Structure 1
Amino acid sequence: MKLLAVTACPTGIAHTYMAAEALEVAAEEAGHEIVVETQGSAGSTPFTEAQIAEADAIILAADVEVRDKDRFAHLPTVTSPVKKAIGGAPALIEQAAARAADRTGGAAPAASPGTGAAQDMDVKQFGTGFGSRLRGWLMTGVSYVIPFVAAGGLLIALGFALGGYQITEAPDIVSIGDGNVSTLTFDPGSLTSWAALSFQIGGLAFGFLVPVLAGFIAYAMADRPALVPGFVGGMIAVQTGAGFLGGLVAGLLAGAVIMGLKLWQPPRALAGIMPVLVLPLIGTAVVGTVMFLVVGQPLAAATTGLTNWLNGLSGTNALLLGALLGLMMAFDMGGPVNKAAYAFAVAGLSTGSETALMIMAAVMAAGMVPPLALALATVVRKNLFTKPEQENGRAAWLLGASFITEGAIPFAAADPLRVIPSIMAGSAVTGSLSMAFGSTLRAPHGGIFVVPLIGNPFAYLLAIVAGTLVSAALVIGLKSARRTPGTEPAGTASTTPAAAPVTG
């Protein structure tokens, strides 16, 4: 069979490319040809028309809305969460080949061990329910927001690093007033001037967060005609003080309005201008009216209440929140629960409160622990791990240091009952300690490479080390406890990301 696949995750960094590699390996082992389009943060190379024309079926392994999905409307399709493509790629390849065979009247390949009706049902039904679609829409918005948060947050953090916390009181390098742009005093030899410039650029980048979130949630729901009402609704959320919550509502509202308008069959004379004029015009008017007159103020009050609650967290409450976020970050290593904790932290960055910055720091620290702990465990007790796991352990050092929690997936897939509780415990310790130490972070990503921009960096590193040691000790202890003399490590088969989960 000639198969196509699209992989995409909310951040577009790790899952996207791990899933692509797993599908390529599984297709080669099954004797099929496959071409994968990775819709990641580095952009993508779209399929050629010839590849689409020759394809027998397509696999959509994505947690966000796949771009330009209409290209594949004629192909038998298997949809799946991106994480299932990492741990269960052979089953997806098998299902795609079977559906292609059904269409052409050929024989479907024999079922491989470990696959069955339950697994097939799980893959077939993913993405058809409203809950799955809603999550896909929201994650699409978040995926487009992250680069703005990263760029703005790092520039703001750099401004603080160069100019100190008093940089917030420095005058803008460029002032816009009365329609004229005037450049204020800027001394190329002054560190404070460069700090102020970095801080101002970062602040402007942060100003796009809510409109971009709303615009691309709407885009995921109803395509390009929804972009304008989504962006405008997001900007109104900013102006009314509705913040991140307002952006979510504005995006969903804009998408719903445009989806509803698309149900109307216009006269032939209007059909050509519907997507570029009628839909954006009516959608923007409706969304703007609702945001200004109905939901803006209540959401602003809710946002203010959330901000006050975050600022009021201290002592035991802060420690418990840090532990909870740590547990969520490690639970599924980049899956929906992990992304929920991460999205909560990123949303707090827009408030700029001290506690919100502490939450962001705790989330990133907790997310670094799982791969670092497993990398350490493979060094300390090498004989407990298979050769492929030891190789994955060497790569996990860099993945963990870069805040790519997915580096722990191969270990969890091979031995989930021992690995997942161990890494959750260590991440919870790190999250609590980071909150207790009061470490802060304005950048949503970067791992060890943004430590110079972290508030209280030495204590922050101590929290990461403590959690890593806890998780590594638990993994080693649990794996050692179930072994008897002469037994082999769990998962003697390949434990690369393409391997199907094996419990042992």
Structure 2
Amino acid sequence: MKFVAVTSCPTGIAHTYMAAEALEQAGKAAGHTVTVETQGAAGSTPLDPQVIADADGVIYAADLEVKDRERFAGKPSVDVGVKKAVHDAAGVIAQAVAAVESGVVAAAPAATPGAAPATKVDPNASVATRVRQWLMTGVSYMIPFVAAGGILIALGFMVAAFAWPGDEGVVAVTGVPLADLLANFNVMSGQDWAVLLFQTGAVAFGFLVPVLSGFIAYGIADRPGLVPGFVGGAISVAVGAGFLGGLVTGFLAGFLALWISRWRVPKGVRGVMPVVVTPLLSSAVVGFVMIVLIGQPIASAMEGLTSWLNGLSGANLVLMGALLGAMMGFDLGGPINKVAYTFAVTGLATEGLAADAVQYQIMAAVMAAGMVAPLAMAFATTIRKNLFTHAEQENGKAAWLLGLSFISEGAIPFAAADPWRVIVSSVVGSSVTGALVMAVGSGLRAPHGGIWVLPLISNPWAFVGCVAVGMVVSGLLVVALKSARPSPLVQAEHEADAAAEGSPALVARTA
């Protein structure tokens, strides 16, 4: 059979492309052809209309709303989450085959503009699941702003370290007004370039809370939630409520906009409801609630959290690093991993941080711990190939680059095939790395990048050493666990290889 597929995940980075590869390989193994359109962070190349026309069925492996879904109308389809395609691609292919054979065709979907923001919240899911999906919608749109802004700020500090004498750079680069830069920018001045990078990054980073709030509201109420969500997030920043305030305004704006948009109004008013009435009323209410009622209490809570973090030292920091590391290694890009990562990146948005602030150490610990699992699997497949299937050995080669780039999802194929041994090993090694990074005091102002932002990390070689220790600990542990009880899949592959080579012992035993 011929299938077309669409894959997408909330961040559009790792799972999107891993699911595409898994479906293509599983389809080929089952004797089918699967052509995939990846709707990821890098954009997407639409499938050829003729390929769609020739397809027997459609596979949606997506955690976001599929763009231009109406293209596939009239064809049998299956709709699963992107992780299902990564973990059980063969099962998804089997579902698609069954859908084609049954001949059941879903109703044609309504046309959806390809440029619309994407989200996917299951209205039939439990309350807890929907809350997580709303949060992930906000986080997925926030991360690119955080990554771009954080790296630009860090680059500005790095250039400032060379442009100003001694330790003046970090302080000086933050004290130059944007108006002075506009009036006197000199392309030959390192100081001006440092300020330019810092100011650009600061502007990008300033969108963190409004984007988080706006797209949480969008996930709840669709487009009517965008305006009050962004307004509430901006007010949260203005009153000092920060990240916590953004979470509150996101949910408040979303539910308020959803309620107003469902009002039964005369026909003559319906046309202005989404353009004027809903954004006007919801923004006014969100503004009142934040400025008058809850903004200051949340700001006080944020100040208390910042003071508590800055007061941590010694064993307490190490324990926090171990906990955050364990969370990063537990579900490899899943909700728990994202909680730890979001906690770290929102700490970077705290205003007035000192150069050696604990928030930078937390970010370094989280990124280092997130690199461990894929590197450990790559290391294990290198030192003990016979404990892994041929597919895992190939995945191990790719995991080197994924791990170095801080893409924890590179270990997912291993965890899907052998969950408890891989996850236990990942948690132990990542926890060790998180604790070590806190102990050595490495700091990081950039929220992403892995080894490629090494120049932006304080105490960089200690950071690399911490990652290497965690990699070795996880790698040796997974080897030990797999050696104690080899995988039946691996044993079956070895026997098949031996039979193909004409092994006398295997032939005799088989006979």
Q: Equivalent residue for 1:463? A: 466
Q: Equivalent residue for 1:218? A: 217
Matched, 1:268 2:257: no
Letter in 2 for 1:285: A
Match of 1:385 among 382, 385, 388: 388
Q: Relative to structure 1, is the Cα distance of residues 171 and 105 closer, same or farther in structure 2, using a 3 angstrom cutoff? A: closer
Q: Equivalent residue for 1:188? A: 187
Letter in 2 for 1:282: L
Shift of 1:277: 2.0
Shift of 1:327: 1.1
Matched, 1:137 2:144: no
Q: Per the alignment, in what secondary structure is the counterpart of residue 61 of structure 1?
A: strand
Shift of 1:21: 2.4
Q: Relative to structure 1, is the Cα distance of residues 389 and 432 closer, same or farther in structure 2, using a 3 angstrom cutoff? A: same
Instruction: Please give the residue correspondences for 1:3-22 in structure 2 after superposition, counting only pairs within 5 Å.
Output: 5-22=5-22
Letter in 2 for 1:255: G
Shift of 1:230: 0.9
Match of 1:147 among 139, 144, 149: 144
Instruction: Please give the residue correspondences for 1:57-206 in structure 2 after superposition, counting only pairs within 5 Å.
Output: 59-64=59-64, 78-96=78-96, 98=98, 104=104, 128-164=125-161, 166=168, 167-170=170-173, 175-176=178-179, 183-206=182-205
Q: Equivalent residue for 1:229? A: 228
Q: Deviations over 1:199-233 (max 9, x none)?
A: 11111111111111111111222222221111111
Q: Equivalent residue for 1:492? A: 493
Kept in 2, the 8 Å contact 1:63–1:139? The answer is no
Shift of 1:96: 4.8
State the distance in 1 between where 2:492 and 2:329 align. Answer: 21
Shift of 1:138: 1.0
State the distance in 2 between where 1:71 and 1:286 align. Answer: 40
Q: Equivalent residue for 2:376? A: 373
Q: Relative to structure 1, is the Cα distance of residues 30 and 388 closer, same or farther in structure 2, using a 3 angstrom cutoff? A: closer
Instruction: Please give the residue correspondences for 1:250-265 in structure 2 after superposition, counting only pairs within 5 Å.
Output: 250-265=249-264
State the distance in 1 between where 2:72 and 2:255 align. Answer: 24
State the distance in 1 between where 2:73 and 2:105 align. Answer: 19
Q: Structure 1 length normalisation: TM-score?
A: 0.84
Matched, 1:402 2:399: no
Kept in 1, the 8 Å contact 2:160–2:173? The answer is no
Q: Equivalent residue for 1:428? A: 431
Q: Equivalent residue for 1:350? A: 349
Kept in 1, the 8 Å contact 2:380–2:476? The answer is yes
Q: Equivalent residue for 1:111? A: none
Q: Per the alignment, in what secondary structure is the counterpart of residue 444 of structure 2?
A: coil
The percentage of counterpart residues that share the same residue type is: 58
Matched, 1:291 2:290: yes
Letter in 1 for 2:392: E
Match of 1:361 among 357, 361, 364: 364
State the distance in 2 between where 1:69 and 1:265 align. Answer: 30
Q: Per the alignment, in what secondary structure is the counterpart of residue 11 of structure 1?
A: coil
Q: Relative to structure 1, is the Cα distance of residues 52 and 269 closer, same or farther in structure 2, using a 3 angstrom cutoff? A: farther
Q: Relative to structure 1, is the Cα distance of residues 387 and 94 closer, same or farther in structure 2, using a 3 angstrom cutoff? A: closer
Letter in 1 for 2:334: G
Q: Equivalent residue for 1:121? A: none
Kept in 2, the 8 Å contact 1:174–1:184? The answer is no
Q: Equivalent residue for 2:114? A: none
State the distance in 2 between where 1:193 and 1:33 align. Answer: 55
Matched, 1:279 2:278: yes
Q: Per the alignment, in what secondary structure is the counterpart of residue 125 of structure 2?
A: coil
Which structure has more relative contact order (CA 8 Å, sep 6+)? It is: 1
Q: Relative to structure 1, is the Cα distance of residues 98 and 263 closer, same or farther in structure 2, using a 3 angstrom cutoff? A: farther
Aligned-residue CA RMSD (Å): 3.2
State the distance in 2 between where 1:68 and 1:137 align. Answer: 22
Kept in 1, the 8 Å contact 2:261–2:274? The answer is no
Q: Deviations over 1:442-475 (max 9, x none)?
A: 1111110001100111111110111111111112
Q: Per the alignment, in what secondary structure is the counterpart of residue 7 of structure 1?
A: strand
Q: Relative to structure 1, is the Cα distance of residues 30 and 480 closer, same or farther in structure 2, using a 3 angstrom cutoff? A: closer
Q: Bigger CA drift: 88-97 or 320-329?
A: 88-97
Matched, 1:318 2:317: yes
Q: Relative to structure 1, is the Cα distance of residues 388 and 94 closer, same or farther in structure 2, using a 3 angstrom cutoff? A: closer
Q: Relative to structure 1, is the Cα distance of residues 243 and 53 closer, same or farther in structure 2, using a 3 angstrom cutoff? A: farther
Q: Relative to structure 1, is the Cα distance of residues 488 and 202 closer, same or farther in structure 2, using a 3 angstrom cutoff? A: closer
Kept in 1, the 8 Å contact 2:7–2:36? The answer is yes
State the distance in 2 between where 1:37 and 1:457 align. Answer: 39
Q: Structure 2 length normalisation: TM-score?
A: 0.83
Matched, 1:411 2:411: no
State the distance in 2 between where 1:481 and 1:291 align. Answer: 58
Shift of 1:426: 0.9
State the distance in 2 between where 1:198 and 1:133 align. Answer: 38
